[in-house]
Structure formats: C-alpha cells, structure tokens
Amino acid sequence: MGEQATFEVSYTVEGADFSIAGEGAARLKRVLQQVGLPPALVRRIALATYEAELNVVIHAYRGVIKARVSSALVEVWVEDQGPGIPNVELAMKEGYSTAPDHVRALGFGAGMGLPNIRRNADALKITTVVGEGTALYMTFAGPSSEV
C-alpha cells in the first residue's frame, strides 16, 4: 500500500448550529467526487458522515470531521467534545433517541443516526467517554481494495 496516494482533509463542526449542519459532509462529498470514487460509494460515505455530523450538531459542543482517502480505503473520523454516550448498545437501536424536543420538531433526532451509519459504513468503531465526548471511526472499502 506504500505506493498508494492518500489525501487527508479535516473540517470543524459547531454544535447546535442547524443552519450549517451537513456542510462538512457536503464538502467531503465534493472531494470524493473529485477523486472519482463510484457514485454509490460516495453516497454511502456522505450519508454516514452526514449522520455523524448531525449527531455532533444535536448533542455536542463542537467537533471535527477528518478523512483519509485512498483508492483502497476511505477512513472518516468524527470526534466531538460533548456529553458522550452512556449506553452505546441502546444508542445503536433504531428509533432510540435522546434528542431534545426542539430538535425533533425540526425533523432531526429520529433515532436513526447511528443505525444509518452502521448500515452505510463497512466498519464502525465508537469510543465514548461520558462527560467528555465521542469519537466515531468509520471505514469504507475503496474500489482498489481486494475484498
């Protein structure tokens, strides 16, 4: 893999700002399209990143999206400073949500975020500390990976 070109990028995410929620995922999507990854793969990565970004906006104070892109593997980290997730297993359940009412009124926080991420990512690792924050690590096999 030493010969393979990689590209790294990072975007910051502000908590509670719904007006720009999704901007980081949209910028990452543009980058992936510029690389020329297949549209279906781009969609999965953008969707998973968008959901993770939204979680930061809904629950955390601030966060950062980082991505490393190669033709074999796309890795995305979404790390936040926030309340953390007390029960990850519960949070992974479809429909389970701790989003406040005003967020749900906007149509967000339906409890589909983490399940959607798991569905779209090839692998997902969650590291979380209550009171400190959450780190998501998602990977997606690229077209040149040997599966």
Report how far apart, in Å, the C-alpha atoms of 104 and of each of 18, 48, 98 are: 12, 19, 10
Q: Is 22 in the site for other proteins (CB under 8 A)?
A: yes
With binding defined as CB under 8 A, does residue 25 bind other proteins? yes
For other proteins, the closer of residues 63 and 133 by Cβ is: 63
Query: Is 51:117 a contact under the CB 8 Å cutoff?
Result: yes
> Which candidate, 58, 63, 48, 61, places its Cα nearest to that of 12?
63
29 touching other proteins, by CB under 8 A: yes
Contact 114, 55 (CB under 8 A): yes
Site for other proteins in 47-106 (CB under 8 A): 47, 50, 69-71
Q: Is 42 an interacting residue with respect to other proteins (CB under 8 A)?
A: yes
User: How many Å from the N-terminal Cα to the C-terminal Cα in the chain?
Assistant: 15
Beta carbon of residue 41, minimum distance to other proteins (angstroms, whole number): 10
User: Looking at 12, 34, 87, 127, which residue binds other proteins (CB under 8 A)?
Assistant: 34
The stretch among 33-41, 56-64, 87-95, 127-135 that binds other proteins (CB under 8 A) is: 33-41
- How far apart (Å, rounded) are the C-alpha atoms in residues 55 and 76? 15
Q: How far is Cα 58 from Cα 103, in angstroms, rounded to an integer?
A: 7
Residues that bind other proteins (CB under 8 A): 4-7, 9, 22, 25-26, 29-31, 33-37, 39-40, 42-43, 46-47, 50, 69-71, 107, 116, 143-144
